Amino acid sequence: MYEFAVTPAVTNIRRRGVEISEVAPDSLGAEMDLESGDRIIKVNGRVVRDYLDFRFHTAGETDLVLEVRKKSGEDWEVELERSEGEDFGLAFEQIVPRQCANACIFCFCNGNPADARPSLFIKDEDVRLSFLYGNYTTLTSITEDEMRRIVEQRLSPQYVSVHATDLDVRAYLLGIDKERADISTKLSRLLDAGIEVHAQVVLCPGINDGEVLTKTIEDLAAEYPRITSVAIVPLGLTRYNTDARLTRVTPEFCREVIDQVGRIQKELHARLGTNFALLGDEIYLRAGRRIPARAHYGDYPQIEDGVGMVRSFKNEFAKLVRRLEREDWTSDGNKSGTIFTGTLFAPVLKEMIDDLNARFRMSLVVEPLENGYFGGDVSVAGLLTGQDLLSARDRVTGNFVCIPKQMLKSDDAIMLDGMKLSEVSRALGQPVHAVNLQELATLLLNKN
Ligand code: SF4
């Protein structure tokens, strides 16, 4: 596995340049006779490794020379002038993620069934994806090339999995030696260069909790505002995680963490004006405690990591309901359907939907969907499968079904077990809408 550590992450070593996947009609790209399948190799003499490079090298440039390897194998040199900010009308191939070189004891890959889709075993650790999508990296095997690129191209913010600032504990969790686990110099270099960093801790009972956690939060907070926030999310174990070093997260553990971190948040808020350390929604839900108020989360710095997502949804939903009430809106009387979601979030959603049913005379039912594929304490919506839905078909009522959008691949209507949305819809005998929380609110409360 270690060979990945020395593979330049930012270079596509097999094929030069970046491939164009789509050219918009009547765009600048179309005028230049560019086609999907062509590869842009250089811009004004500068090598292009991926679309971030293309974006960086073309930014602010009006006179451009592109070196293009055509799909046919010909090499073209294309000269063009464009007005400032004019779009090329080009879409590019997705970035192939760099693989990580760690052996984290809690790695999600260890929790996959042996026959899971190969994509579930991809251990991405890529600073480009961190910048683009908020994916976390550990910085343990970041190359000099990547470090320079983050700074030069301002790939900020970066999301960093710290887990513990105690070096022994970090090395143990990541399954690497202390020398590689120590990212203090790299982190300082990024922070000194003005790169914003958000940190993450995956909390493993008995390993990086208690005093180790307190120290981690305090060490990171010492760098505030250069380090903007730390998200603390619980370890999740499937039934396939049998590593004896790992202990399952219990409701009692979550309550202790809320109390411990609550005290630190209070102190940090008084000192820094921010809670800085934010607990994942899952911790409150597992603990059976109330989700904190809006102000607790500031500007929701790590909402995509499930930190404040529930609060944000509840507030947006309540706002929408209030607006409809002001407008004297009434349902068309045809809103009768089943909403499936993960077991942890289901009680929260049920309370909201029951309220909606009462206010607007709807007949919506929230059904918790157990995860039969991964089992264990996996209760998040993103890991549910088509089979899970089929095994709940007896619970479908009404004339439509909603499922969480995270159940689908980001670029295709396929679930983790390979089942297509259309197949599920046929099997359930109902239209199935895959929606995120905002889309769910709009779908249920539209005026049509
Ligand atoms: S948890 Fe992340 S960093 Fe750790 S081994 Fe898995 S993919 Fe790599």
Instruction: State the DSSP string of 396-440.
Output: --SS-EEEEGGGEETTEEEETTS-BHHHHHHHHTS-EEEE-HHHH
Q: Is the pLDDT of residue 166 over 70?
A: yes
The pTM for the full model equals 0.88
Q: How far is the CA of 235 from the centre of ligand 1 (A)?
A: 13
Does residue 4 or residue 281 have the better pLDDT?
281
Which of 205, 225, 211 minimizes the C-alpha distance to 283? 205
Asked whether 276 and 265 are in contact (CB, 8 A), the reply is: yes
Tell me, in angstroms, the distance from the centre of ligand 1 to residue 212's CA.
20
**Ligand 1 atom with least separation from CA of 101:** 8
At 5 the pLDDT is 30
Residue nearest to atom 4 of ligand 1 (CA): 104
| 199 compared with 95, residue with greater pLDDT | 199
- Residue 84: predicted pLDDT: 83
Q: Which of 28, 26, 58 is nearest to 44 (CA)?
A: 58
3-state secondary structure of 192: helix
Token pair of 395 as six digits: 């619970």
- The predicted model gives 35-55 an average pLDDT of 95
Report residues whose beta carbon is within 6 angstroms of any ligand 1 atom.
100, 102-104, 107, 109, 123, 125, 138
CA distance 127 to 138: 9
What pLDDT shows up at residue 1?
24
Closest to 403 in 3D by CA, of 383, 376, 373, 378: 383
- How many other C-beta atoms lie within 10 A of the C-beta of residue 377? 21
pLDDT tens across 233-264, in order?
Answer: 999 998 888 899 999 999 999 999 999 999 99
Overall average pLDDT of the 158-163 stretch:
98
Q: Is the pLDDT of residue 11 over 80?
A: no
Atom of ligand 1 nearest to the CA of 103: 5
Q: What is the pLDDT of residue 210?
A: 98
CA of 137 to the centre of ligand 1 (A): 8
Closest Cα to atom 6, ligand 1: which residue? Answer: 107
CA separation for the pair 146, 126 (Å, rounded): 9
Measured CA to CA, the distance from residue 163 to residue 174 in angstroms comes to 9
Atom of ligand 1 nearest to the CA of 124: 7
Which of 104, 130, 160, 246 best tests ligand 1's pocket when mutated (most atoms within 8 Å of CB)? Answer: 104
